[in-house]
Amino acid sequence: MSQSNDILQVLLTEEQLKAKCAEMGAQITKDYQGKNLLLVTVLKGAVVYLADLMRCIDLPCAIDFMVVSSYGSGVKTSGVVKIVKDLDQDLSGKDILIVEDILDSGMTLSYLKGLLQGRNPASIRIATLLDKPSRRKVDLQADYVGYEVPDEFVVGYGLDYDEKYRNLPYVGILKPEVYTK
Ligand code: PRP
Ligand code: MN
Ligand code: MG
């Protein structure tokens, strides 16, 4: 059974996503000349975007991953997360670019940015493919934004609902009947 049957509408096609990665990668390539670029990704949603974006960056750069988990119900308001897998390397002197698939409430990233800032990097910025500013709960902006999206349940290209749909090659709006049943 195809997962496409659960999609109400395709929001961003494969071609659009490919073009956006090329555009963002070119800008990052320009901005990080002579820097010590380290792409930091929080698993799992951003892996697809990272994989495409990094191939559009024409510079030496390293990548690293973090796994975080929520501490419980209080987390929703505090944004405090438990680090399940930390970065493998020292951040001092590195130019950190956090790569995210979507910036929603901003709670997790706002906490993580502060945490990484404390490790003495040369700089720290955020690149997000999708931005839902209407849902923001903290004052946080990405430095590189692919697309602003409406407050709909979007899946695909790494984004999941209940761990599914991550492997769709496009970004689509999920049919409400899928998550209300
Ligand atoms: C999703 C998404 C972002 C985050 C955005 O991750 O991939 O990382 O939520 O939400 P926020 O701005 O409100 O923090 P999720 O926690 O679903 O984990 P996943 O990446 O493994 O899907
Ligand atoms: Mn995520
Ligand atoms: Mg998710």
Task: Give pLDDT, residue 128.
Answer: 98
Rounded to the nearest angstrom, the gap between the alpha carbon of residue 53 and the centroid of all alpha carbons in its chain is 11
Compute φ and ψ for 19, nearest 5 degrees.
-65, -40
For ligand 1, whether the C-beta of 110 sits within 6 Å is no
The ipTM, to two decimals, is 0.97
Task: Give pLDDT, residue 167.
Answer: 98
CA of 33 to the centre of ligand 2 (A): 28
- Domain positions in the chain: 14-149
CATH of 14-149, one of 3.30.1490.20, 3.90.1580.10, 3.40.50.2020, 3.40.50.300: 3.40.50.2020
Ranges of residues in the chain with a pLDDT under 50 are none
Task: Give pLDDT, residue 151.
Answer: 95
For ligand 1, whether the C-beta of 128 sits within 6 Å is no
CA of 68 to the centre of ligand 3 (A): 12
- For residue 106, the ligand 1 atom closest to its alpha carbon is 12
Global pTM value: 0.96
Tens-digit pLDDT profile for residues 35-79:
999 999 999 999 999 999 999 999 999 999 999 987 765 555 677
